[in-house]
Structure 1
Amino acid sequence: ALRLLRRGKRLQLTAKIDIESGGPYESYNVVAEIPGSEKPDEYVLIGAHLDSWGLGTGALDNGCNVALVIDVARQIKRLGLRPRRTIRFALFNGEEQGMIGSWGYTRTHAQELDRHVMASAYDIGSGEITGFFTGGRAELLPALEKALEPVRGLGPFTNLNAPIVGTDNYDFMIQGVGNLVAAQASANYGPNYHAESDTFDKVDLNQLRLNAAIAAAVTYGFAQMEVDWHRQTRAEIETLMQTTDLGKQMKSFGLWQAWQDGSRGRSK
């Protein structure tokens, strides 16, 4: 076959591949928090997914952002900051299988979701943070601009009032919780996406440190500020689906039916 290819011949290959699955297994999220000094029963969440694709070591997707979340917690503690609201740090499992860990979080903490002011997700490697997606919630934009003020020199930032599906903000969004997803320069994330080449040497450590500073500013800023938004109702979420491409994204990810039958997302 190799000789034929070298002579410019076109070949057709038929292959039979046996694929085995290990079956169901149990995994866990890792959740920690810094209690709020004034509003301990209100929450600002920062999260990243702990699992990775099986081919590589998952340094870009998503080990570097797991380190980012841990470093944000470490820096807030090191500086002795006391946020007004509780900051919750979540490392979700099962993201690659359909955001299972963050879905589980919203079910386990269902009684607290009314008091979740904002949930953010970091999931695009170590490329430069260029802004945030605000989930189609225009009311988050001025608050986000305010939170970014201390790190304005690391910008410019372009914030996009659009929903995004495919990472761990999703279940917060369809539960009506204000949510953010970091928009990042692709850098070397794309070429190594879900590949065996996703290894530690691809991580831009300097940029990751800068990203952690941005994430810390946003997280702490939302924990401190007064807010004028609420958790959306199911009707408001459905309006969001109609006025943006959220519904289309959900269908492309195979998530639409679970919303329609009420097994996933806010019920009322």
Structure 2
Amino acid sequence: MRKSLPIFITSLILSYFPNVACAESSNLNQKVAIDLSQKALQSDLAYKITESLTVEVGPRLAGSPENAVAVAWAEAKLTSLGFDKVYKEPVVVPVWQRGEASAKVISPYPQNLVLTALGGSVATPKEGLTAKIARFDTLDALKHASKKNVAGKIVFIDQKTERFKTGAGYGKSVAGRVNGAIEAAKLGAVAIVIRSIGTDHDRLAHTGMMHYDDKVAKIPAAALSNPDADLLNAMLTRTDDVTLQLTLTPKSQGTTATYNVIGEFTGASKPDEIVLLGAHLDSWDEGTGAIDDASGVAIVTAAAKLIGELPQRPARTIRVVLFAAEEIGMIGGKAYVERHKDEMAKHYIAAESDFGADRIYRADLKVAASVFNEAQALLTSLTAIGVELGDNNARGGSEVSLLPAQGVPVASLRQNGQDYFDYHHTPNDTLDKVDPAALAQNVAVYAQFAYLMAQSELVLRPLK
């Protein structure tokens, strides 16, 4: 059995042979990372946090009373977990209430439809509105339509969302949700309905944020459940003359203050340098926000907690940022960048968990090309828990995607999103969709990543 040298002899040797010191340090960091991973895989902390947020708070739309409860919950939770610093930073957000939504085909085949208002939509007249449907395959097709075929009608964008592990199908179809009302209004439409941006077959509609242009009339906007989009489309294959009655009652009520909630474990030797782990605290109001994004809140919080429990803290500070108002335009992320703009040079690297609760399968980076291979090599221990080492084209996820423009290196710890858009922004976003074992694997990945980056001696900048 090999015996360790006395500590004073080891220290003397390392002082004279820095390459040996570097190797010893690297080996020790890897050992700590592996120990963190093993603890994470055996822990149910992340699941308990996810359960706590979804049960004790539930839906938490930015600007709502429930969101204020979530802020208080987050402060209390981070404090109870022993973070060295817990604080919040104000963010001004619009207040929007969903109200009721109903639709039915008046002719030629009278049937009720299931739909929901898109986030930020204006209301229909109190009595609703009735008009014929003008169908388009995509937003681009609508843009090229003639006004005479759209004016006075309800536009229907019927683009299906394709299923991908990466979630790439969402990117292909979401533009219709975001900008459809603007383009339809330009052509004189009185309202717009879209096929839900989702991969499910449930008779539940997917909400999500949409935009208006102050130079263009604001028209009501809603999403149909996918089965009801199929039903409407089948009617339109029989006749072009389909009339829909639509009633939406959302309200906009000015602005209010909410908060980014932040917790830190202070670094041992470089406390002013930051490894940022992000997630967003708000959710849509249809489900309980379990996979979007209570699970992300839990993953980054539990990972930081494991690091904070180490007998020896890593060099850099681990900062957990629970962002406000991601769902309505990454308002909390933008506020964070503005508030911390003079501190951006001290952000060593950042990553965000906001793609559900399934397992992480790949780790991508966005660092200086000259050190990419070395940075990637630091994360080799991730391969033991099913994570492949990826490329140098990471975005970082949601709010963290704003940071590379500020020169901040980022990582994308990619989760399997094969089923994510079955539940995204629907009443089906509930705790039963979270697998505790998969959640623990996420914590293991984030804990290793954060610790190894907090100890890294690499210079990760400039990004180009």
Superposition TM-score, scaled by structure 1 size: 0.77
The offset of 1:59, in angstroms, is: 0.3
Q: How does 1:67-146 map to 2 (within 5 A)?
A: 67-135=298-366, 138-139=369-370, 141-146=372-377
**Closer, same or farther in 2 for the Cα pair 1:132/1:98, shift >3 Å?**
farther
User: In the alignment, which residue of structure 1 is the partner of 2:453?
Assistant: 222
**Closer, same or farther in 2 for the Cα pair 1:86/1:231, shift >3 Å?**
farther
**Closer, same or farther in 2 for the Cα pair 1:75/1:169, shift >3 Å?**
same
User: In the alignment, which residue of structure 2 is the partner of 1:48?
Assistant: 279
SS, match of residue 313 in structure 2: coil
Which residue type is aligned with residue 194 of structure 1?
H
2:425 equivalent to 1:190: no
The offset of 1:14, in angstroms, is: 3.1
2:433 equivalent to 1:202: yes
Residue deviations 1:114-149 (CA, integer Å, cap 9, x gap): 111101111110111112343475456435423422
Tell me which structure has the larger Cα radius of gyration. 2
The offset of 1:204, in angstroms, is: 1.3
Asked whether the equivalents of residues 102 and 168 of structure 1 are also in contact (C-alpha less than 8 Å), the reply is: yes
**What is the rounded CA distance, in whole Å, between the counterparts of 1:82 and 1:148 in structure 2?**
19
2:404 equivalent to 1:173: yes
**What is the rounded CA distance, in whole Å, between the counterparts of 1:188 and 1:81 in structure 2?**
39
Q: How does 1:55-66 map to 2 (within 5 A)?
A: 55-66=286-297
**Percent sequence identity over matched residues?**
34
The offset of 1:38, in angstroms, is: 1.3
**Closer, same or farther in 2 for the Cα pair 1:4/1:55, shift >3 Å?**
same
- State which of 374, 386, 404 in structure 2 corresponds to 1:155: 386
Asked whether the equivalents of residues 274 and 346 of structure 2 are also in contact (C-alpha less than 8 Å), the reply is: yes
97-106 vs 140-149, which moves further: 140-149
Asked whether the equivalents of residues 395 and 410 of structure 2 are also in contact (C-alpha less than 8 Å), the reply is: no
The offset of 1:211, in angstroms, is: 0.7
The offset of 1:161, in angstroms, is: 2.6
The offset of 1:166, in angstroms, is: 6.3
**Closer, same or farther in 2 for the Cα pair 1:191/1:81, shift >3 Å?**
farther
SS, match of residue 105 in structure 1: helix
Q: Provide the aligned length of Structure 1 versus Structure 2.
A: 232
Moved over 6 A (4+): none
**What is the rounded CA distance, in whole Å, between the counterparts of 2:363 and 2:445 in structure 1?**
11
User: In the alignment, which residue of structure 2 is the partner of 1:245?
Assistant: none
Asked whether the equivalents of residues 380 and 389 of structure 2 are also in contact (C-alpha less than 8 Å), the reply is: no
Q: Which blocks of at least 5 consecutive residues in structure 1 are unaligned?
A: 237-268
User: In the alignment, which residue of structure 2 is the partner of 1:15?
Assistant: 246
70-79 vs 202-211, which moves further: 70-79
More strand by share: 2
Residue deviations 1:49-74 (CA, integer Å, cap 9, x gap): 11112211110010001011110122
**What is the rounded CA distance, in whole Å, between the counterparts of 1:24 and 1:135 in structure 2?**
36
SS, match of residue 15 in structure 1: strand
**Closer, same or farther in 2 for the Cα pair 1:180/1:140, shift >3 Å?**
farther
Q: Which blocks of at least 5 consecutive residues in structure 2 are unaligned?
A: 1-104, 112-233
**What is the rounded CA distance, in whole Å, between the counterparts of 2:272 and 2:407 in structure 1?**
18
**Closer, same or farther in 2 for the Cα pair 1:14/1:121, shift >3 Å?**
same
**What is the rounded CA distance, in whole Å, between the counterparts of 1:166 and 1:223 in structure 2?**
20
CA RMSD of aligned residues (A): 2.5
**What is the rounded CA distance, in whole Å, between the counterparts of 1:18 and 1:139 in structure 2?**
55
SS, match of residue 98 in structure 1: coil
**What is the rounded CA distance, in whole Å, between the counterparts of 2:371 and 2:277 in structure 1?**
16
**Closer, same or farther in 2 for the Cα pair 1:81/1:54, shift >3 Å?**
farther
Which residue type is aligned with residue 96 of structure 1?
E
User: In the alignment, which residue of structure 1 is the partner of 2:268?
Assistant: 37
209-218 vs 72-81, which moves further: 72-81
**What is the rounded CA distance, in whole Å, between the counterparts of 2:434 and 2:253 in structure 1?**
30
The offset of 1:172, in angstroms, is: 1.0
**What is the rounded CA distance, in whole Å, between the counterparts of 1:204 and 1:47 in structure 2?**
21
**What is the rounded CA distance, in whole Å, between the counterparts of 1:137 and 1:120 in structure 2?**
16
Asked whether the equivalents of residues 47 and 122 of structure 1 are also in contact (C-alpha less than 8 Å), the reply is: yes
